[in-house]
Chains A and B, each alone.
Chain A
Amino acid sequence: MKIINVEKIPEIIKKWQNDCEVFVPVDNEGAVDFIPWSEGSKITLEGNSLVPPKKLFFPQTETLYKYETKGQSANVIALEEKTAQRIIFGIRPCDLKSLEMLDDVFLTKGFVDPYYKLKRENTALVALLCAEACDTCFCTSMNIDPGAASGADIVACKSGEQLGLQAQTEKGEELLNKVSQLTTEGEIDFKKAGNFKLQADIEGLAEKLKEHFESPYWEAACRKCIGCGTCTYLCPTCHCFDINSNTRGDHGIKTRCWDSCMFSEYTLMAGGHNPRPGKKERFRQRFLHKLQYFPERYNKTACVGCGRCLAKCPAIVDITRIITELREVTGIGTGNVESVS
């Protein structure tokens, strides 16, 4: 393992930045965000970002191509692809896991999204293991290890003022070689986060939910939801989008933007019919997508326990409670959850 004092992290990043852009978690007026590092950026090694790093692979607003019309003909103009290499420094194990799910959506089952693929291939990931859980964290309930980072090129862990860096891929080796003069060989005493305040047990739930689409539970559970899109936009696994054209005269752009199943427009059809007309249908969709449909299609629960949805929900809709309540509704018992409160 390579060791460096945390104060020296900017020096590593500066070195890396000679060849590529490095995104780092920075505390920006109380909200941590992944932004390109620049001289003076204050990197935060505590907690997690407010908006998940999915935005670096699947931006909220993305221009896909341009077009122009001339008389009866139309031209599609491809955008110049950005092929520059990027590094994300400080991605947490939960968010790393969410990328596996986005990979499933954007790269498998016979569909390959070139925009996503390019960004994924051009990005090296330096994961930061978690020594401390936030109040709203429950990754272990989603079978994610806060002390491991499979899929990362480099794994970093912090203990006191020391940061340990371990390459997991060739790309990671190369990056560490570039900064070898700044690091020393050694080991650090890292203890992963243990005290999780929230827990939920998803074992066996996906299968059972199939029979409870019409359960009166949804009507009661959805009441407090205000129908905003905060949970979906801050969720690292939510990936719904909408494609639109912006035409000005004889030219325009095609854009792809995040969309949310919590919005009435999301399922509104051209003729005016809305198959999910109200709060109940939208609320149910969000939870069933995470807990039943995604597991059915990709064999993974589309929740990584990052807790962002709960942390920022205006009405404190708590997915761990919903999972626990759904266990009761489906009759599979409270599950393996220690009493926490």
Chain B
Amino acid sequence: MSNELTTQMRELAKKLLEEEKVQMVIGWEKGSLPYHSTPVFVTNPEDAQKLIWDEYCANNLASYLLDYRNSGMKIALFVKGCDSRAIVRLLQDQQINRENVYVIGINCPGIKDNFNPEKEIAERCRDCTHPEPVLYDEIIGEKPDRASDKERFEGIEEIENMTPDEKYQFWQKEYDKCIRCFACRNVCPGCSCRECIFDQGQKWLERRVVSSENAFYHLTRALHLAGRCIECGECERVCPMNIPIMKLNKKIAKDIDSLFGPYEAAVNLEEMPPLGKYKEEDPEEFM
């Protein structure tokens, strides 16, 4: 890997570790296949050489900060535009301390999908609204010269135009594919509950993988993220069963946007999620 960003990342990481500004740097390293770039956790300066940047650096590394939320460790990590919003998510949700994270932003040219490497660009990058990180301590890479070729809520009207029965059938068919691996939950920077509702001895969710339980799982998760979803698309990327998880997340984001907005989650640290704060002028048409 001999691109300029890779060199910069290695130098930066090495320096941060050598100067003991951080105890760990989270980045990506090359996997066994050309389209495999995988998270790497560098703790000593010599290993900074492992770091790379290429078009397959898909993982949102911010979610890993949850693993270290009680450690008191100072951690540096690389974030693309979407990943930087995950940092805002974690800060707003009070999961991490700002002073314990050193954020290195990458101006993102858009990445490819390691699960569909033949695609020119990952589907989730097509409607990217923030290729430039929204929060960082320093930033590397040229400002990307790219425009989204898809509107933020494009395609959502397809669901909106369905009748209730059609909607039910559409989602039930999708949720019936679910094997309940919980990859979508575990990869999500918004899923930070210390004990997830779904991990409580089947108090809420049965182990049986049947329509009703699957729907309950997906709907609960989507609603729990209402107004908080940063639209990074990680959940949909990692779903082994190709469930269009972002379709529902985007629909909810669209509703939040039209009811309380304009609002885009975790773009601005000061702007808390609409459902997480009280405003006198909030609509209350149902009262």
Show the binding face of A for B, using Cβ within 8 Å.
Answer: 29-31, 50-51, 60-61, 135-136, 197-198, 220, 223-224, 226-230, 233-234, 242, 244, 246, 255, 257-260, 263-265, 268, 279, 310, 312, 314-318, 320-321, 340-341
**A195–B181 CA distance with the chains assembled, in angstroms:** 31
Q: Which of B208, B237, B241 is the one whose CB lies under 8 Å from A246?
A: B208
Given known contacts A228-B183, A265-B201, A341-B32, what 14 new A-B pairs fall within 8 Å (CB)?
A: A61-B208, A197-B33, A224-B38, A224-B64, A226-B186, A228-B182, A242-B207, A264-B199, A314-B183, A314-B186, A314-B237, A315-B38, A316-B38, A318-B31
Known contacts A50-B240, A316-B114; is-contact A321 B186 (Cβ 8 Å): no
Chain A CB within 10 Å, residue with most, of B208, B209, B210: B208
What is the CB-to-nearest-CB distance from A91 to chain B, in angstroms, rounded to a whole number? 19
**A244–B202 CA distance with the chains assembled, in angstroms:** 9
B35-66 contacts to A (CB < 8 Å): 36-41, 59, 63-64
**A60–B234 CA distance with the chains assembled, in angstroms:** 25
Q: Across the interface, name the chain A residue whose C-beta is closest to B207.
A: A257
Q: Which of B31, B182, B208, B234 is the one whose CB lies under 8 Å from A263?
A: B182
Q: Is the contact region of chain B dominated by helix, strand, or loop, or is it mixed?
A: loop
Residues of B within 8 Å of A, CB-based: how many? Answer: 38
- Are A316 and B31 touching (Cβ within 8 A)? yes
Q: Which of B38, B41, B199, B242 is the one whose CB lies under 8 Å from A30?
A: B242
26 intermolecular pairs with C-beta atoms under 8 Å apart: A31-B177, A60-B179, A197-B33, A198-B32, A223-B41, A223-B64, A224-B39, A226-B186, A226-B187, A226-B238, A228-B185, A229-B179, A229-B181, A230-B240, A244-B207, A246-B208, A257-B207, A265-B201, A312-B240, A314-B238, A315-B38, A315-B39, A316-B31, A316-B37, A321-B31, A321-B32
Known contacts A223-B67, A316-B38; is-contact A233 B179 (Cβ 8 Å): yes
**A233–B183 CA distance with the chains assembled, in angstroms:** 11
Q: Which of A60, A228, A317 is the one whose CB lies under 8 Å from B186?
A: A228
Specify which chain B residues have a CB less than 8 angstroms from the CB of A135 in the assembled complex.
33
Specify which chain B residues have a CB less than 8 angstroms from the CB of A234 in the assembled complex.
240
